[in-house]
Amino acid sequence: MHPSLLSGDPHDESLRAHVQPADWQNPEPIAGRYNLVVIGAGTAGLVTAAGAAGLGAKVALVERGLMGGDCLNVGCVPSKGIIAASRRAAAVREAAEFGIDPGPTAAKPDFARVMERMRRLRAGIAPHDSAKRFRDLGIDVFLGSARFAGADAVEVGGARLRFAKAVIATGARAAAPPIAGLDSVPYLTNETLFTLTELPRRFGIIGAGPIGCEMAQAFARLGSDVVLAHSARGIMPREDRDAAAVVRRRLERDGVTLLGSGDGLRLSPAAGGGVRLHDPSSGADYTVDRLLVAAGRAPNVEGIGLESAGVEFDAENGVRVDDRLRTTNRNIFAAGDVCSPFQFTHAADFMARIVIQNALFFGRKKASSLVIPWATYTDPEVAHVGITPQEAEARGIAIDTYTQPMAAVDRAILDGETDGFVRIHTKQGTGKILGATIVAAHAGDLIGAISLAMAQGIDLGAIASAIHPYPTQAEAIRKTGDLFNRTRLTPKVKRLMEAILRWRRR
């Protein structure tokens, strides 16, 4: 059984039967060349293979682990299943604020059932990424380790696959950061976290990026005493500082203890198999039963023969690609986490679409043209797209910023979800949207409207003219457009309008 799955669990056995079937027989390679050989069956590889095959290409897809990659098996899908359960627990506990008495025992989560539900739902999603489905799409699916055998061939399980074009979509994996004492203690990563069946009474998490913050809040709401250790940059260092502050307050309200240890954290074994977290600078000292390391990722570039294929790479940044996602071997492309700073499922999806066009049809699509949003599914959620003020300053771009607090949006007030804001950055003096941050209960859903506007060149004033249903939280975006339009009412324009109205009163 794969280490990220539970041996003997019926749901994980079902999952494996779809994404790593034990009785799978690799096909015989075709006699000539494949139009496309894809290495890796995560999001980037699956989208590339399915899209190319649908257009008539002869495609081979190779996967050494679980088809579906991180997203299905150890990322988006299982984590959101746990988050959904934790939100229900929080809603029950907070029901009294809405005049509803949940009763004395209603909000005690059963962690084993929470995790069983997650595994059941994950297994239900698995057929979409299954080996059988992709075989039925006309793709030659090979399960095993691939290795380049020169510039135009891949070997897997003793078979040689010749190609006209190839795609490296091997993704990335959890990588332990350099923390004193980490090698002396047991710890979980996202690749093993979802095998837990018992709730840790005391749970330590190192790393306060998206995964760390999401899991800290979820496990705290499910009943763990959580300590979240973050760097000197604070929690969610990539995000707007006001956005991070909103999330920080909510984490603390949910009972998460924040440990700002910077680079000075020290780990050591504790009695009973636990782990001691010590920060010499502050004197803070905590003992936890289980530890999750949610900091650090490494691209999967080892052991696939990139050197023999003429593909340049490094262990930190992965495969080197140009704006058209070509590697230094012009017949080999790369997509997804193995080559991208945007390590998101949706980014891998759209990079794969670029690869299909450029590899098979002489396209000239550029990765830099993509408008890539992202979201962190804490409560409230934080979503972002485009540039930040810091990036704008570094690039010498003058911007205007418009902020609409959720506390002034009627539906957010009625829902009891007033923490957060919509903040949109435009090119100075214009309505051209350059970036946005949304902090709201459903920010991940709301940011799509801003992404659409940016991708289609719709300015902020035009958003204000689009009628939104009342009352909705999405109205916050329209209200932000109103803030922009009010700036168009300059003193000169106002005086002119007043003069016209005086004349019309005569």
Phi and psi, residue 437, nearest 5°: -130, 135
Q: Which residue pairs, CB below 8 angstroms and at least 24 apart, start in 96-101?
A: 97/416, 98/416
First to last CA, the chain: 87
- State yes or no: pLDDT of 103 exceeds 80: no
Please compute the mean of the pLDDT values over residues 207-229 and round it to a whole number: 97
* Calpha distance 502→506 (Å, rounded): 7
| Token pair 């106002």 in the structure block, residue | 494
The pLDDT of residue 107 is 64
The model's confidence at residue 257, banded by pLDDT at 50, 70 and 90, is very high
| Size of the chain in residues | 506
Instruction: State both tokens at 48.
Output: 């590339």
Indicate the average pLDDT of the chain. 95
Please, where are the H alpha helices in 275-409? 345-360, 389-394
Residue type, 428: Q
Q: Could you tell me which residue, 296 or 256, shows the higher pLDDT?
A: 256
Phi and psi, residue 306, nearest 5°: -60, -35
* Calpha distance 106→108 (Å, rounded): 6
- State yes or no: pLDDT of 6 exceeds 80: yes
The pLDDT of residue 362 is 87
Please, where are the H alpha helices in 222-262? 241-253
Partners of 38 in beta bridges: 61, 167
Note whether 3 and 296 are within 8 A (CB).
Answer: no
The model's confidence at residue 495, banded by pLDDT at 50, 70 and 90, is confident
Note whether 473 and 440 are within 8 A (CB).
Answer: yes
Q: What is the pTM of this model?
A: 0.95
The pLDDT of residue 244 is 97
Q: Tell me the torsion sign for CA atoms 443, 446, 451, 454.
A: negative
- State yes or no: pLDDT of 92 exceeds 80: yes
Query: What does DSSP say about strands 297-299 and 172-174: parallel, antiparallel, or unpaired?
Result: antiparallel
The model's confidence at residue 262, banded by pLDDT at 50, 70 and 90, is low
- State yes or no: pLDDT of 126 exceeds 70: yes
The model's confidence at residue 127, banded by pLDDT at 50, 70 and 90, is very high
Query: What does DSSP say about strands 159-168 and 153-156: parallel, antiparallel, or unpaired?
Result: antiparallel
Please compute the mean of the pLDDT values over residues 399-403 and round it to a whole number: 98
How far, rounded to the nearest angstrom, does the alpha carbon of residue 266 sit from its chain's CA centroid?
29
The model's confidence at residue 181, banded by pLDDT at 50, 70 and 90, is very high
The model's pLDDT over 353-391, given as tens digits with 9 standing for 90+, comes to 999 999 999 889 999 999 999 999 999 999 999 999 999
Bond preceding residue 471 cis, omega within 30 of 0? yes
Q: Return the H-helix or E-strand segment holding 270.
A: none
Residue type, 139: I
- State yes or no: pLDDT of 106 exceeds 70: no
The model's pLDDT over 422-439, given as tens digits with 9 standing for 90+, comes to 999 999 999 999 999 999
The pLDDT of residue 3 is 85
The model's confidence at residue 506, banded by pLDDT at 50, 70 and 90, is confident
* Calpha distance 426→81 (Å, rounded): 36
- Beta strands (DSSP E) in 332-432 are 332-334, 374-376, 381-386, 399-405, 421-427
Q: How many CA atoms lie within 13 A of 426 on its CB side?
A: 23
* Calpha distance 274→288 (Å, rounded): 6
The model's pLDDT over 137-153, given as tens digits with 9 standing for 90+, comes to 999 999 999 999 999 99
Percent of the chain at pLDDT > 90 equals: 89
Partners of 417 in beta bridges: none
